[in-house]
Amino acid sequence: MGERQMFVKLSEEKLIPKSDILSLLRTYNCYHEGKNFQLRTREEDGTLILEGLLNIYWGLRRPIRLQMYDDNERLRLNRNNKCSGPKQLSAESNNNSQGRENGPASGEMGVQEEEESPQLLRTRSDASFMHVQRRSKTHTARDLQRLRTHRFSINGHFYNHKTSVFTPAYGSVTNVRVNSSMTTVQVLNLLLHKFRVENKAEDFVFYMVHESGERAQLRDCEYPLVTRVLYGPCEKIAKIFIMEADLGEEVTYDVAQYIKFEIPVLDSFVEKLKEEEEREINKLTKKYLTLRSMILHQLEGRPHPSDEV
């Protein structure tokens, strides 16, 4: 007997042969050669597992809310509150906000950047009410240690009650380290936890957005990393976006091909379709009027049952 063929899950219902996914993976890693986005493989209980960084683009239209403190920061503040009273707590809180709010305002993360230092762009409207100072891109040893031990920040700083609500700049990119056994729900929760987003995971969904405008939602049972490999490594062709569940909408290929046209051109298409619709309605109306006339004519020519008696 030949060797039993192994499969990799695309979703709970769909599988892809291991040989096919390995072929796609070679192309994927070749594209990312010399970068941090190459994927590694391992086998676990006879199952092939892919793991590595996955880019996710922000496509939110409404603000999100971040936790004001890390879990470990809350514990430290509680201890200080018990030991030193409110005066020392206030001073430490001010030092935290000053040291962390003076982050780089640019905050743009290149696609080759490691997961340890992702940053998001704040939309201009959200930042207009506050001044964010710039600082040198060089980090001291203390800064690097703080980046490792604290949660990931947005625009390089942690948020207080004035700046904890904001909208990430549309199209800005971040990444998370995932594996091919993680479902859409698990990856979504990982992303929200990474930035300590307080909004519920049910408020968001992932979409695979094609350059043509086609948009397909990643179902809860799908595996985003496998989907990324299937679509190929080039993010100019397709990107994974996080969007609001009630604002996002799937766009089929047939619809997507019209999206990039100007409104006057689309209006002319609509007029043409209306004219074609009217022609079809008239054609069907004439057809059934003719059939009705023929049926009535045949009925009139037949003798009535009462006449035969």
Task: Please compute the mean of the pLDDT values over residues 144-150 and round it to a whole number.
Answer: 55
Task: Please compute the mean of the pLDDT values over residues 137-159 and round it to a whole number.
Answer: 56
Residue 249: alpha-carbon gap to chain centroid: 12
Tell me if 60 sits within 8 A of 168, measured CB to CB.
Answer: yes
Per DSSP, the residues of 89-123 read HHHHHHHHHHHHHS--S-----TT--TTS---PBP
Task: Please compute the mean of the pLDDT values over residues 167-189 and round it to a whole number.
Answer: 93
Exposure of 193 in the CB half-sphere (CA atoms within 13 A)? 9
pLDDT of the residue at 10: 77
Of 191 and 114, the one with more pLDDT: 191
pLDDT of the residue at 127: 41
Of 211 and 105, the one with more pLDDT: 211
Say whether pLDDT at 210 is over 70: yes
pLDDT of the residue at 220: 92
pLDDT of the residue at 205: 95
Residue 305 dihedral angles phi and psi, to the nearest 5°: -55, -35
Assign 153 a pLDDT band (cuts: 50, 70, 90).
low
User: Helix or strand or coil: residue 251?
Assistant: strand
Tell me if 236 sits within 8 A of 211, measured CB to CB.
Answer: yes
Say whether pLDDT at 133 is over 50: no
Interval 236-281: pLDDT, tens: 999 999 999 998 788 887 787 777 788 898 899 899 999 999 999 9
Task: Please compute the mean of the pLDDT values over residues 79-98 and round it to a whole number.
Answer: 43
Amino acid identity at 263: I
**Regarding beta strands 204-210 and 238-244, do their DSSP bridges make them parallel or antiparallel, or are they unpaired?**
antiparallel
- How many residues are recorded in the chain? 309
Of 225 and 76, the one with more pLDDT: 225
Assign 29 a pLDDT band (cuts: 50, 70, 90).
very high
Tokens linked to 184: 């859409």
Tell me if 205 sits within 8 A of 162, measured CB to CB.
Answer: no
Assign 140 a pLDDT band (cuts: 50, 70, 90).
confident
Say whether pLDDT at 96 is over 60: no
pLDDT of the residue at 223: 94
Exposure of 13 in the CB half-sphere (CA atoms within 13 A)? 2
Task: Please compute the mean of the pLDDT values over residues 120-132 and round it to a whole number.
Answer: 45
Percent with pLDDT over 90 in the chain = 40
CB neighbourhood size of 128 (10 A): 9
Interval 33-43: pLDDT, tens: 999 999 999 98
Tell me if 119 sits within 8 A of 107, measured CB to CB.
Answer: yes
Please state, rounded to an integer, the average pLDDT across all residues of the chain.
76
User: Helix or strand or coil: residue 93?
Assistant: helix
